[in-house]
Chains A and B, each alone.
Chain A
Amino acid sequence: MRQQYAWRSMLLNGFLAFVATLIVLQMVRIQASAEAEQFRKQADDFAGEYKVYYPERGEIYDRNGHLLAGNHTVYEVGVDTTTVRDPHSVAMAVSVNLGKNYNTVYSNILNPPPGISYLIVDNFASPEAVAYLKELKKELNESENPTPSLVGLEFSPRLERSYPENSLASNILGFVNLEGRGYFGIEEKYNDLLAGNAVRVWIPSDPNRAVEIPRIPNGTSLILTINRDLQDAVEKILDQSLYDHGARHGTIIVMDPKNGDILAMASTPRMDLNNFQNYGAIYSNASEYNRAISMPYEPGSVIKIFTMAAALDTGLVNPNTTFLDTGEFQIGGVTIKNWDEEAWGMQTMVGCLQHSLNVCLAWLATQLGPQNFYSYMDRFGFGSLTGLDMAGEAAGRLKVPGDADWYPVDLGTNSFGQGISATPLQLMTAASAIANKGHMVTPHTLYAMLRDGHQFNVPPQYAGSPIKAETAATLTEMLAVSLESEASAALVPGYRVAGKTGTAQIPTPYGFYDFSQTNTSFVGWGPVDDPQFMIYVWLERPTSSIWGSYTAAPVFSEVAQKTVILLDIPPDTVRLQMLAR
């Protein structure tokens, strides 16, 4: 009997050992098979999943710490079709609370696309709506009845861009689209800094293997040079000016000519950045988003200050040099005339600027010669980008001898701002050399960066010195006297300012000029003895008057009066008294 049990036992042991050997052999065979790599990959795929954690996008502040661009929570609402118990209730709840179509949601839950087990119902659900749905789901879960039930309805919070000031400074800030990418202005230029670095983490399916979610540093926050209150005031003045003067569009920039800080930059049209989906309805092309930097135009007589600067700097003339204006000047086979087609007789250089005489300036350009004239224009930065730290800047066009489309007459017309195109910002940058003792600043909007609790201030940069300090001082005085002599509408009570109007005919696509409409401009700065603001005004096709002296000049004065209040710049008499103490 005992012998019989022993045999049975040995047989069973042998059988089990055989099976075990077969299993081991099969394991080894699978491990060494051609499909082994594929099996390992499948195992890895099911072992967990990669999840991307995005940092909070950096905020944008104005120079006084007012938030211009922040973030707020929105929810992604989805349905896990593998766990959903009551599609009808889920579709109904989503339909009522999130405004989604019941039939679409219901049919999608019942018939999800092949291979999809998670359906996104809403990408931008509000926290209030989600809070209500969460509460409803909880209440239904606690009830004893299996239906109705919201099991399978999932909520994932994330941060979305928010602009508390709505359309204020929209042309400077730009916006962030649904994918989190910045477009236009600061949002595009500094997108990488603001967005930060996303972190990809492998999350194992094994509940015993808890992987720590790494701490993700937020994106860099930016402090801009923009003054929110001044920006608001300038935008209001611009909108009112368009209405008062019947202009189609306009631009106003306020800059600190000493360091290039852009204090305000208004352009039309603007849009509510929280509804950036309206972009297509407001703008027909990208250059319209910020005319101040993206839309070059022929500025007209504003350019005369640079022609005069070149003439003074080379020693060709001084303020008292006289010129006999006969009302006509021949160059390249074309007759140049003054704006009023009149002869103004004997004029000093101050008179040439004061009366904005095309003939006088064309004569100056020919006396300088093309090489000198275009060399100065190049040093003033025409035809080149200013280096502004905003996306979408255009360079304008400066034709020079040697270009296929340059003709000798261009030397004459360029001297008074026709046949040359520049953006308002380029003109302002060039003019900063005159206001800032010959040193041209690089305009910028970034004041400082904030990262990990540290603030890194951005130092001002200079773009060369196209003219001597003496030339800058002389020309500033000439411009101030010009405005005072003609009792210009640009004058600012209590403050001595220098500046120049511009009235330019508009070239048509057919190569001719439209004589019925103009672009009017004004560039000016003050106080003359210690410039603290520089303002550029451009009104497109005003209908109240075609002249810059009647349209752009009074707008300059209005902006300047607001600027001195908001920047705490006391009147000249008060300031000089303070300095004397």
Chain B
Amino acid sequence: METIHRINHAHSQAPWRVQRQWISIFLLVVIGFGMIATLYLMVTSQAAIVGREIQDLRLEIIGIEHNNADLQTELAHLTSKGEIERRAYALRFRPIEPEELEYLYVPGYVAPNGVTLASAPELQPSLPNTPSEYTQSLLEWLDEKLQAPGRGLR
């Protein structure tokens, strides 16, 4: 029994064993940091990619708005007073003379009172309903937890 105890003691105190323990701990820490760094890089890179996509979409919206403005102005040019008049004369129309006018009584007709150019109100972007766990980076989560008054980490 004494012998077994001595062998165990000698084995546990062996220098190569102590060294291996330290190396294991060091590797564990390195792997831990590596995992965290990898996770962090994955989340932030995904967030950056999504951010860039949103930016691109915004720029696309601006481009479409510019295009809309161009088309609207082009349409206004095509229907401008001078252009319509030119086309009307080309089609052999001419301005009416007062004596050629004939007014008809239409029962129930109500003349339009002013123009309404309002379109439907623009849709407001709805609030994001994706849980923050899926959108936050680890640092953002940590920052939020630390800054939350009287809460701390759970």
Contact = CB atoms under 8 A, between A and B. Distances in A.
Interface of A: 56, 59, 61, 63-67, 70-73, 127, 157, 159, 162, 164-166, 168, 207-213, 215, 221, 223, 228-229, 232, 447-448, 450, 452-455, 457, 493-494, 561, 564-565, 568, 570-571, 574, 577-578, 581
B5 interface: no
A211 B105 contact: no
Nearest to B48: A208
Interface of B: 44-45, 47-48, 50-52, 54-55, 58-59, 62-63, 65-67, 69-70, 72-77, 79-82, 96, 98, 101, 103, 105, 111, 114-122, 125
A565 B105 contact: no
Given A67-B73, A70-B69, A447 B118 contact: no
A209 B54 contact: no
B105 A207 contact: no
Report, nearest first, the 7 A-B pairs whose CB atoms are least far apart: A210-B51, A455-B118, A164-B76, A67-B76, A453-B121, A70-B73, A208-B48
A495 B55 CA distance: 63
Contact of A208 (B45, B105, B119): B45
B54 A67 contact: no
B117 A168 contact: no
Given A70-B76, A212-B51, A228 B81 contact: yes
B81 A56 contact: no
B57 to A, nearest CB: 10
B65 A56 contact: yes
Interface centre among A64, A157, A208, A223 (most CB of B within 10 A): A208
A571 B72 CA distance: 38
B73 A164 contact: yes
Contacts of A72: 69-70, 73-74
Contacts of B77: 164
B72 A67 contact: yes
Contact of B122 (A157, A210, A453): A453
A359 to B, nearest CB: 39
6 contacts: A67-B72, A70-B73, A209-B51, A211-B55, A215-B58, A564-B98
Contacts of B96: 565
Contacts of A157: 63, 66
Interface centre among B70, B76, B101, B122 (most CB of A within 10 A): B76
Interface centre among B44, B66, B116, B119 (most CB of A within 10 A): B66
A494 B98 contact: yes
Given A56-B65, A71-B73, A564-B98, A65 B51 contact: no
Contacts of A450: 117-118
Contacts of A581: 105
Given A73-B70, A162-B73, A208-B45, A223 B117 contact: yes
B69 A212 contact: no
Contact of B98 (A65, A71, A232, A565): A565
B69 A71 contact: yes
Contacts of B118: 450, 453-455
Given A71-B69, A570-B103, A453 B80 contact: no
Given A70-B76, A453-B118, A455-B118, 20 more contacts: A61-B117, A66-B76, A73-B66, A157-B63, A165-B81, A166-B82, A209-B48, A210-B50, A211-B51, A211-B55, A213-B58, A228-B81, A232-B81, A448-B114, A454-B118, A454-B121, A455-B116, A561-B98, A570-B103, A574-B103
Nearest to A216: B62
B70 to A, nearest CB: 5
B72 A452 contact: no
Contacts of A457: 114
A66 B121 contact: no
A65 B120 contact: no
B49 to A, nearest CB: 8
B7 to A, nearest CB: 25
Nearest to B44: A208
Contacts of A166: 80, 82
Contacts of A561: 98
Nearest to B54: A212
B98 A568 contact: no
A341 B65 CA distance: 68
Nearest to B58: A213
Nearest to A62: B115
Given A165-B80, A213-B58, A56 B69 contact: yes
Nearest to A218: B65
B69 A64 contact: no
B114 A63 contact: yes
Contacts of B54: 210, 212
Interface centre among B55, B62, B63 (most CB of A within 10 A): B62
A157 B67 CA distance: 11
B127 to A, nearest CB: 15
Given A165-B80, A210-B51, A454-B118, A493 B98 contact: yes
Contacts of B98: 493-494, 561, 564-565
B82 A165 contact: yes
A552 B12 CA distance: 121
A128 to B, nearest CB: 12
A221 B117 CA distance: 10
A447 B118 CA distance: 13
Contacts of A56: 65, 69
